[in-house]
Amino acid sequence: MNARQAGMPSPESAGAGWTRGLLDFVVSSGLLAALAVFVLAVGVAKPSVLKWSSLEGIIRQSTDIAVVAFPLALLVIAGSVDLSVGSVAGLVGIVMAQSAGAFGFPAGVLIGLGLGLALGALNGVLVSYLKLHPVVATLGGLALWRGLALLVTDAQTIGMGSVPEAVLDYGIGLRQVLFLPLHFYILLAAYLLCWAAAHKHSFGERLFAVGGDQRAAFLAGINVRLVRFIAHAATGLGAALAGLMMFIRSGAVHGSDGSGLEFGALTVVLLGGISFQGGLGRMGGVLVALFFMSFLRHSLVLLKTPLYLQHMASGILIIVALYVDSLLMRRTELGKHA
């Protein structure tokens, strides 16, 4: 009886697991070190960036990406992706604003969240059951939902006055919960939920199995289609929550809301060590990458960096994230054959 038959990990799988854990630690530690150095450097150049009011602003601004990036990380782990999340967030915000004006704010929120879940489920059907490539299917959604958002609003700002004043106060940070912005608790809840799903629940084991080797997962009795369908639906719900965050922060919506959100969220996911090939990564790295990206963008604005340089910095981070992804995959393959 060999080790695999006895239910014990083989030397090969143990070696690959050890390599994977080491790489996850290196990615997270490297990002933490980079974040610490960057915070100190910016703090010296612009001390106001380290004030509590500035840090609160970073938390509020990072929540939009966070509620998308965390479920998106689960989807990428499962070997898929959703590039329509920015357009979904924008469209959901518009539907929320119109529904809130007609039926009241609570009903508008529920309708918007339901729409986001439905659009995510639609992507899940297209990718998991109709076998469309996730990049192609969700790129189509990106263009379709953005066009619909602009059509509905006639490219105008709408929804003014549809958010209750008390909710708007929480959205813009005038009111807090236990001395912290409401956004902090939403970010924390989203992270803990996705972290638990990935690392503390059997569903997470299925995600990693499907993303790591789809055929082996199928032979092991895992419903590959259902796993990816659920991950797509969860990502759509996260995009809807991002639309809600943008809505209550500004009190109005525009057809262009959420533009670029998909690339920001995907950059955070890849920079955090989640492999674009699937089956590899830790949610802790995504959290560190989120704060790194958010602090970088906030600092560039405070330092009055020209807009073109801000876009260039985002492009460089995407390239770095893809390089980290390719490095992780090469090292993992070496670990498997060691």
256 neighbors 150 (Cβ within 8 angstroms): yes
Q: Tokens for 272? A: 């955090």
Residues 280 and 77: beta-carbon distance below 8 Å:
yes
pTM of the model as a whole: 0.85
Average pLDDT over residues 200-205: 92
Asked if residue 2 has pLDDT above 50, the reply is no
Q: Is the dihedral of CA 32, 311, 168, 111 positive or negative?
A: negative
DSSP state of 9: P
Q: Where are the domains of the chain?
A: 23-337
Query: Is pLDDT of 74 > 90?
Result: yes
Q: What is the pLDDT of residue 336?
A: 54
Q: Are 336 and 12 in contact (CB under 8 A)?
A: yes
Phi, psi of 177 (to 5 degrees): -120, 115
Average pLDDT over the chain, rounded to an integer: 82
Three-point CA angle 257, 156, 139, nearest 5°: 40
Q: Which residue in the block uniquely carries the two structure tokens 């890849």? A: 270
Once rounded to an integer, what is the mean pLDDT over residues 195-211?
Answer: 93
Determine whether 331 is exposed, middle or buried from the number of CB atoms within 10 Å of its CB (0-12, 13-18, 19+). middle
pLDDT of amino acid 329: 65
- For tokens 């209750």, name the residue: 164
Q: Supply angle C-alpha 251, 69, 214, rounded to 5.
A: 145
Q: Express as a percent the part of the chain with pLDDT over 90.
A: 43
Q: CA 65, CA 33: separation in Å to the nearest integer?
A: 22
User: Where does the pLDDT of residue 182 fall: very low under 50, low under 70, confident under 90, or very high at 90 and above?
Assistant: confident
For residue 313, give both structure tokens: 């910095």
pLDDT of residue 332: 59
The pLDDT, as a whole number, for residue 331 is 59
Q: Are 186 and 70 in contact, with CB atoms under 8 Å apart?
A: no
Range in 111-125, 248-262, 316-330 the model is least confident about = 316-330
Query: Which has more pLDDT, 100 or 223?
Result: 223
Class for the domain spanning 23-337: mainly alpha
Q: How many CB atoms lie within 10 A of CB 159?
A: 21
Give the pLDDT of residue 312: 83
Count the alpha carbons within 13 Å of 70 in the hemisphere toward its beta carbon.
27
Q: How far is the C-alpha of 267 from the C-alpha of 277, rounded, in Å? A: 14
Give residue 6's pLDDT band: very low, low, confident or very high (50, 70, 90): very low
Please say whether the beta carbons of 162 and 108 come within 8 A: yes
Band of pLDDT at residue 3, cut at 50, 70 and 90:
very low
Asked if 88 contacts 120 with a C-beta cutoff of 8 angstroms, the reply is yes
Report the alpha-carbon distance of residue 286 to residue 238 in Å, rounded.
Answer: 15
User: Quick one: average pLDDT of 257-272?
Assistant: 89
Q: How many CB atoms lie within 10 A of CB 114?
A: 14
How far apart, in whole angstroms, are the C-alpha atoms of residue 150 and residue 143?
11
Check whether 256 has a pLDDT greater than 70. Answer: yes
Residues 91-141: tens digit of each pLDDT: 999 999 899 888 888 999 999 999 999 999 999 999 999 999 999 999 999
pLDDT for residue 54: 76
- pLDDT greater than 60 at residue 191: yes
Name the helix (H) or strand (E) containing 2. none
- CA pair distance 267, 218, nearest whole angstrom: 30
Tokens of 275: 């492999």
pLDDT score of 237: 97
Give 76's pLDDT tier (boundaries 50, 70, 90): very high
